[in-house]
Amino acid sequence: MVKDSPAPDTSEGDVNLSPLRRAWERDHVRGATRALLDRDGAAYLHQSLSTPCFDALVEAEGIWLTDVDGRRFMDFHGNNVHQVGYRHPRVIDAVKRQLDTLPFSPRRFTNTAAVELAERLGALAPDPLGKVLLAPGGTLAIGMALKLARVATGRHKTISMWDAFHGASLDAISIGGEAMFRRDIGPLLPGAEHVPPCDPRACTFGCGGTCDARCADYVDYVLGKEQDVAAVIVETVRCTDVQIPPPAYYKRLRDACDRHGALLILDEVPIGLGRTGTMFAFERYGIVPDMVVLGKGLGGAVFPMAALIARRDLDVAGDRALGHYTHEKSSVGCAAALATLDVIADEGLCERARELGAHALDRMHALADRHPLVGDVRGVGLLLGLELNRQDGSPAREEAERVMYGCLARGLSFKVGQGNVIALSPPLVIARDDLDRAFDILDEALSDVGRPH
Ligand SMILES: Cc1ncc(COP(=O)(O)O)c(C=O)c1O
């Protein structure tokens, strides 16, 4: 019987674990942690990047995670939910108060927190953006944007970018561009076309590192050929490997969408709400999309919350269900979100992201000077990326993984994007000393990898 079969060996037996991951488990995972990881691996369906896990947590506060064995990590990963850090007292107080009064708001009723949140988001976004829908997750909010684009334009085709990530549902992977999420899944949404992203260091159009926005002209070309595309969907700045298009890119994309009657949807799920130094990342480009999608940090590192903010005149689907999610107008989630927006404003977190981001870039350039492995340094606000390349210019994937484990062993957690980009997303509340300590750790880990082994 399936139920009585022995628990699978979740670590050593898993063919997907890299040798470095196995080494980490051998050297660092034992006792109570091992037992919990084994139970986790036995109880959950295994899936890439999720189960089996590599460690187990007991606490999160500020920029810190604490694991079962009492080890602490500065969290520069946090799935990008932690702009205000973990357990910000104002967020926790707001959530607790709401839990004690109105823990849930069934559909057909609204509540003060939900109304205030929609008003606040609508007011924060520049004109003509202004109307809001909430959802319990970024993927779902992307799905609502896709549906609204279809209803509003009467068209179904989309243009999105290779290498993009917009969530893991079938509609989101259809417009996403990472093979890992699309492979072997079967037919995806029809009409979901892909074009090369703006990626000056690996430009399909050969811009040679100095972007001349020819990739945006190509979007214009495809829009013109197709003639009936509903929407162009882009991550304003691609989060996984911190790809920052130049202003010309978005000017041309905006013009192309207007010329061809397509809507421009910007996905700012991981990068909105201050991370790039402005409330919305698109502000630095001097354009306004037709819709923007927020998520992750909106829930204050407590609650799953996402929002679609659309042009006011796109309120055209009153007789359809765009979202219809059980936890749509969550009183608790909205209370967390309102407190988060208050913290971002009152603690000047956008400004802080710009100031600390400039300092971080200095530290990253210094690392590039010291370590030949660092092939490129990118950053906007506190969304930071160090690209690691070998001498022949090829991606230094194994080295990036070694740097990651070297940093984890020293108490710094982050994500590696596209295999060779160290993507750093510290909480925006981080103290400058802690940020410096993180770069010291990176320096040490890069030195270790640079040494013969
Ligand atoms: C750019 C982007 N869009 C959408 C999503 C999906 O958000 P969620 O996981 O909350 O559904 C993510 C999640 O990582 C993301 O990075």
Residue-wise pLDDT for 35-46, tens only, equals: 999 999 999 999
Atom 5 of ligand 1, nearest CA residue: 167
The answer to whether the beta carbons of residues 158 and 143 sit under 8 Å apart is no
For the entire predicted model, the pTM comes to: 0.95
Atom 2 of ligand 1, nearest CA residue: 166
The answer to whether the beta carbons of residues 98 and 113 sit under 8 Å apart is yes
Structure tokens at 430: 């981080």
Cis peptide before 289 (omega within 30 of 0): no
Structure tokens at 398: 């194994």
Atom 8 of ligand 1, nearest CA residue: 138
pLDDT in tens, 373-386: 999 999 999 999 99
- Going from the Cα of 267 to the center of ligand 1, the distance in angstroms, rounded, reads 9
Ligand 1 pocket, 383 CB below 6 A? no
449: pLDDT strictly greater than 80: yes
451: pLDDT strictly greater than 90: no
Where is average pLDDT lowest: 167-171, 184-188, 194-198? Answer: 184-188
Percent of the chain at pLDDT > 90 equals 89
pLDDT in tens, 86-131: 999 999 999 999 999 999 999 999 999 999 999 999 999 999 999 9
Rounded Cα gap, residues 403 and 399, in angstroms: 6
Ligand 1 pocket, 267 CB below 6 A? yes
Ligand 1 pocket, 268 CB below 6 A? no
- Going from the Cα of 139 to the center of ligand 1, the distance in angstroms, rounded, reads 6
Structure tokens at 5: 């079969």
Ligand 1 pocket, 153 CB below 6 A? no
Lookup result for tokens 């520069």 = 76
Atom 7 of ligand 1, nearest CA residue: 138
1: pLDDT strictly greater than 50: no
Residue 291 carries which side chain, given as an amino acid letter? M
Q: In what order do the strands lie in the sheet with 192-195?
A: 129-135, 306-311, 291-294, 263-267, 229-235, 157-161, 192-195
11: pLDDT strictly greater than 80: no
In Å, what is the CA distance from 444 to each residue of 173, 403, 411, 413, 426?
Answer: 37, 9, 12, 14, 19
pLDDT of residue 15: 57
Structure tokens at 95: 């959530």
CA 67 to chain centre: 23
Residue partners of 221: CB distance under 8 A and separation at least 6:
none
Confidence class of residue 303 from pLDDT cuts 50, 70 and 90?
very high
Mean pLDDT of the chain: 94
Rounded Cα gap, residues 398 and 419, in angstroms: 8
Q: Which of 153, 167, 230 is nearest to 193 (CA)?
A: 230
